[in-house]
Structure 1
Amino acid sequence: MTRYAALLRGINVGGHRRVPMPVLRELLTGLGHGDVATYLQSGNAVFSSDSGDEKTLAASLERAIEEHFGFGVDCLVRDGAYLRAVADACPFPAATLEGKQLHVTFFSEPVDPGRFASVDAPAFLPEEFRLGDRALYLYVPNGLGRSELAAELAKPRLFPGAVATSRNWNTVVKLVELTRD
């Protein structure tokens, strides 16, 4: 059995697209997954499965959510080894930063670094970003809500066709912990 994290995009924000965590746990259990748990209310779940295919796991969860709630939710599923690798590869001094200053945007597929060439990175300093394996690391010293760089990076032209969802560093670290085998 492999431990996975399901990252749901855009749920429970401002009272829209409500997915209660107890129901999410029930849906994952109903799909045959074990050791199901959720973290926070923002769409983070962990579970064990023999499947081994992250895209199939994500697609089955998306279908279950749509059938149950009547609306679609994009989901990314990543195994614990991948999450550990993302944490280990962080190009910023995570141990010295507050969790709200560092974020990771997870992508459904690799993103062409050339797409980010149009971003005038020096114009946004001290905010910075770096690309990783299906991930973008974002350092925002004053938090995400005030970040002009985050607004620029959120433009769909940078990653057309890819699903993207972000988590702050505290959540990334917790998901690494919760997906340890």
Structure 2
Amino acid sequence: MTTYAALLRGINVGGNKKVPMAELRALLQESGHGAVRTYLQSGQAVFTSDHGDEETLAAELTAAIERRFGFSADVIVRGHEYLRAVAEACPFPAADLQPKQLHVTYFSAPVDAARFAGIDQPAFLPEEFRLGDRVLYLYAPDGLGRSKLAEQLSRPRLTKDLIATSRNWNTVLKLVEMTAPAHP
């Protein structure tokens, strides 16, 4: 049995694409998954499954959401080991920063630096970004809402053919904790 986190993109934002967390938990349970929990209202669910891989589970959940709620929502599914590795590989001094200053954008597939080569990073300092394994780490000292670099990074041409969904550092760490194997 593997524990996964499902990251839903663009739900419960501005009154659009409403997915109540109780209904999301029920949907995952009805789909045969166990130990279902959600975190916040912004689209994180943790569950156990003994069938499928991350891509298959994401596709199944995407289809189930569309059937249940009548709209499409992009979903990325990742297991504990990956989530832990992402947190451990952070290129910024996370322990020294406020959680609102550090964000991780999870991608549905690997990305290479060439995709972001057109961004003049020095022009955005002190904001910075670094790529990792299917993730982008963003340091935005004034928070995401004021970040000019985040605005550039979210342009459709940079995320073409990808699902991309961002989480703040508190959520990144909470998902690592929630997906960790239980110890007796």
TM-score normalised according to structure 1 size: 0.99
Q: Deviations along 1:85-136, whole A, 9 cap, x unmatched?
A: 0000000000111111000000000012111111000000000000000000
Q: Alpha-carbon deviation of 1:159? A: 2.8
Find the counterpart in structure 2 of residue 74 from structure 1.
74
Q: Unaligned stretches of 5+ in structure 1?
A: none
Q: How many correspondences in the alignment? A: 181
> Aligned partner of 1:38: which letter?
T
Q: Which deviates more from structure 2 when the two are superposed, residues 115-124 or residues 49-58?
A: 49-58
> Aligned partner of 1:84: which letter?
R
Equivalent-residue separation in structure 2 for 1:115 and 1:10 (angstroms): 23
Name the SS for the 1:131 alignment partner: strand
Q: Alpha-carbon deviation of 1:156? A: 1.7
CA RMSD of aligned residues (A): 0.6
> Aligned partner of 2:128: which letter?
E
Question: What aligned pairs does 1:127-142 form with structure 2 within 5 A after superposition?
Answer: 127-142=127-142
TM-score normalised according to structure 2 size: 0.97
Q: Alpha-carbon deviation of 1:81? A: 0.3
Equivalent-residue separation in structure 2 for 1:60 and 1:138 (angstroms): 30
Identical aligned pairs, as a percentage? 69
> Aligned partner of 1:96: which letter?
D
Find the counterpart in structure 2 of residue 116 from structure 1.
116
Find the counterpart in structure 1 of residue 53 from structure 2.
53
Equivalent-residue separation in structure 2 for 1:167 and 1:20 (angstroms): 19
Contact 1:111 1:159 in 2 (8 A): no
Equivalent-residue separation in structure 2 for 1:177 and 1:2 (angstroms): 14
Runs of 4+ in 1 over 2 A off after TM superposition: none
